[in-house]
Amino acid sequence: MTDEETPEMFHVKQSAEANESSSMYERLKSKATGVPFKSRRKGGPRQYRNMDAPGEAPFTPGRDPRGLGSVLENLTADLGWSSTLAKSQLIISWADVVGPDIAARTNPVAIEDNTLTVACESTAWATQLRLMSSEILTKILQKFPEADVTGIRFQGPNAPSWKRGPRSIPGRGPRDTYG
C-alpha cells in the first residue's frame, strides 16, 4: 500500500485481483475438465442452492468433514491409481515380502506385463529363488493383491560387455585376433 492509497482503496484493489485470479482458475479448470466455463454476471438473476437435494443443506448427512486418508483413497480409486500405487508399494517393501537375507542379495527392478523382474547378486541366488518363486508369488498376492503380479523373473548378473567403455574399439574387439 502506498501513501496515496487509503485502506479502502487498497482492499478494493485486492478484491479485484482475487476475482480476476479466481475467474482465470475457473477458465483453466474448464479447459482441463471439458466442462464449459460459465462466467458470473452481476446483472443476471441470482442462483440459489437447491436445499432439497441430499447433502446440500447445512448440517445434513454427507456434509461432515472427512479424514484425508479416506479422501485420498477415494481419489486413487476414482482415478485408477490403485494398481500403480500397489506396484510401487511392493517394490518399496520388498524386504518385508522376502525377508532381510534375500533382500540383501536381490533388488526388484521393474514390473512389466504383470511380471516382477528381480536382479540377483549371483546366478546361484537366481537359481535358488526360481525354485522358491511360487512361495514368493503367494506372499506377494496375499500382501499386494491390487498389484496384479502374475509371475516373477529372477536374473543373474550380466556378463561384461565389450561394446562400450573406455577401451572399446570398433569391430569385433578381442575376438578377431584368431583369424
pLDDT at 142 (0 to 100): 93
Domains of the chain are 80-155 (3.30.300.130)
What the block records as the C-alpha cell of 19 is 476475482
pLDDT for 13 beyond 70: no
- What pLDDT sits at residue 81? 82
Q: What is the mean pLDDT of the chain?
A: 78
What single DSSP character describes residue 175?
Answer: G
On the question of pLDDT at 43 being above 70, the answer is no
Write out pLDDT tens, residues 66-121. 788 888 888 888 888 888 888 999 999 999 999 999 999 999 999 999 999 999 99
pTM of model > 0.75: no
> Does the pLDDT value for residue 20 go beyond 80?
no
Are 120 and 131 within 8 A, CB to CB?
A: no
Strand partners, 152: 116
Residue 2 has pLDDT above 60, yes or no: no
Cell of 113: 506385463
